[in-house]
C-alpha cells in the first residue's frame, strides 16, 4: 500500500473531514458505524458495544499541517502512522476501526464469511478503551503514553 493511501486511511478513520472543519473546533463522528445487524445475529452475537460504535461523539479536529510521515505501522487489524513535527516531536495516528479481511485470518478461516463474522466480533470491544488507560495507569504509577 502506498504511503499516501495509508495517510488517507489513518486520517479518515480517526478524524472527521468536513467542508468547514477547522483545527481547534469540534466535530461529531462515530467510531465505526458498521455494526448494525439483524435480530438473528444480534441474538447470537449479542448487543456488545454496538451502540457505542455507532453513536457519534464530539472529537477535536486536528491539523496535520507541518507533520511529515515517518513510519507506517500497526498489526494485522489496526493501521497506524507515525508523524514527525519540525521540532522532532513524534505523534502516532492510530485507527480506532479494525480492518479485518480474509487475509488477516489464519489458514482455514480465510473466507469473506469468516472475516465478516470476526469483524462483527469487534463490536464486543469498547471503541474508546484507550482513552481510559491514562487514568488507570496514573492511578497505579505505570508509565503510559498520552492518548488524545
Task: List the domain boundaries for the chain.
Answer: 3-140
pTM: 0.64
Give dist(CA 78, CA 57) in Å, integer: 20
Provide, rounded to the nearest whole percent, the portion of the chain with pLDDT above 90.
Answer: 16
Give dist(CA 108, CA 91) in Å, integer: 37
Q: Phi and psi dihedrals of 134, rounded to 5?
A: -60, -45
Give dist(CA 79, CA 117) in Å, integer: 20
Average pLDDT over residues 50-77: 87
Q: Looking up cell 488507560, which residue turns up? A: 133
Do residues 53 and 123 lie in contact, with contact meaning Cβ atoms separated by under 8 Å? yes
Provide, rounded to the nearest whole percent, the portion of the chain with pLDDT above 70.
Answer: 82
The mean predicted confidence, pLDDT, of the chain is 78
Give dist(CA 89, CA 66) in Å, integer: 11
Four-CA torsion 115, 116, 118, 122, nearest 10 degrees: 130
Amino acid at each position: 500500500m502506498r504511503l499516501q493511501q495509508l495517510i488517507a486511511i489513518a486520517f479518515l478513520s480517526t478524524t472527521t473531514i468536513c467542508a468547514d472543519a477547522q483545527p481547534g473546533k469540534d466535530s461529531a463522528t462515530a467510531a465505526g458505524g458498521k455494526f448494525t445487524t439483524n435480530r438473528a445475529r444480534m441474538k447470537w452475537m449479542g448487543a456488545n458495544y454496538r451502540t457505542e460504535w455507532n453513536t457519534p461523539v464530539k472529537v477535536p479536529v486536528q491539523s496535520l499541517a507541518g507533520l511529515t510521515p515517518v513510519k507506517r505501522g500497526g498489526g494485522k487489524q489496526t493501521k497506524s502512522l507515525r508523524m514527525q513535527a519540525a521540532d522532532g516531536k513524534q505523534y502516532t495516528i492510530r485507527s480506532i476501526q479494525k480492518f479485518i479481511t480474509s487475509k488477516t485470518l489464519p489458514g482455514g478461516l480465510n473466507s469473506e464469511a469468516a472475516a465478516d463474522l470476526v469483524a462483527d466480533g469487534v463490536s464486543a470491544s469498547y471503541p474508546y478503551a484507550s482513552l481510559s488507560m491514562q487514568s488507570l495507569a496514573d492511578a497505579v504509577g505505570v508509565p503510559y503514553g498520552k492518548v488524545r
